[in-house]
A and B are shown apart, each in its own frame.
Chain A
Amino acid sequence: DIQMTQSPSFLSASVGDRVTINCKASQNINRYLNWYQQKLGEAPKLLIYNANSLQTGIPSRFSGSGSGTDFTLTISSLQPEDVATYFCLQHNSWPWTFGGGTKLELK
């Protein structure tokens, strides 16, 4: 199974900060990586698919980059409504596997 190592596990940042979250795959997954946002009590929401494509309706402050084994989710200017847990999903190989999640809070 492909292991997805996500960092950091916890992140505290201020409104307006640039925030980056990373996922590292244990082997090449090409660009088959998605990023999701999950707010407390809500369904996970797709933010970025195929490493760098912004899902429809998602604010442009969210962006994704990377390929192969190293991937990054960037929030260019943190907003209060971005407080959530973020996780990555690799869908290159079976079984699909997830990063451990990053809990983002406001400082």
Chain B
Amino acid sequence: QVQLKESGPGLVQPSQTLSLTCTVAGFSLTSYNVHWVRQPPGKGLEWMGVIWNTGGTRYNSALKSRLSISKDTSKSQVFLKMNSLQTEDTATYYCAREGRGGIRGTDYWGQGVMVTVSS
């Protein structure tokens, strides 16, 4: 069945780079787009960016200068890297698959990984 699972460090120091991995199962990254979304504690969800099945990317302009999304199709993994982290980047980070055919938007999500930015 379709599964997405985020992994990465729970704690990152300010000014450092965050590296997260989304490992997927049940579908191919050559056929589906994968998005990253985050949610700071007590706040709303923020769309961060997407990597297309073709390998192209699109980012939220608010994060574009700091964000990079890539993938290794053979390993069924999508990667998020964001530099110059600040305390306001503390959040739960989710990866989500974009639907195909009639289903637009995201259809499956991972459980998320909590990342705290603190010294």
Contact = CB atoms under 8 A, between A and B. Distances in A.
A97 to B, nearest CB: 7
A101 interface: yes
A95 B45 CA distance: 12
A28 B90 CA distance: 32
Question: Interface centre among B45, B62, B106, by most A CB within 10 Å?
Answer: B45
A46 interface: yes
A106 to B, nearest CB: 22
Interface residues of A: mostly helix, strand, loop or mixed?
loop
B108 A50 contact: no
Interface string B17-54: 00000000000000000010100000011110000000
Contact of B44 (A36, A42, A100): A100
Given A97-B47, A100-B44, A50 B109 contact: no
Nearest to A44: B109
Nearest to A49: B103
A98 B58 CA distance: 17
Nearest to B103: A49
| 7 tightest A-B CB contacts, nearest first | A98-B45, A91-B105, A34-B105, A96-B47, A43-B109, A44-B109, A95-B60
A3 to B, nearest CB: 11
Given A32-B104, A46-B106, A49-B104, A99 B111 contact: no
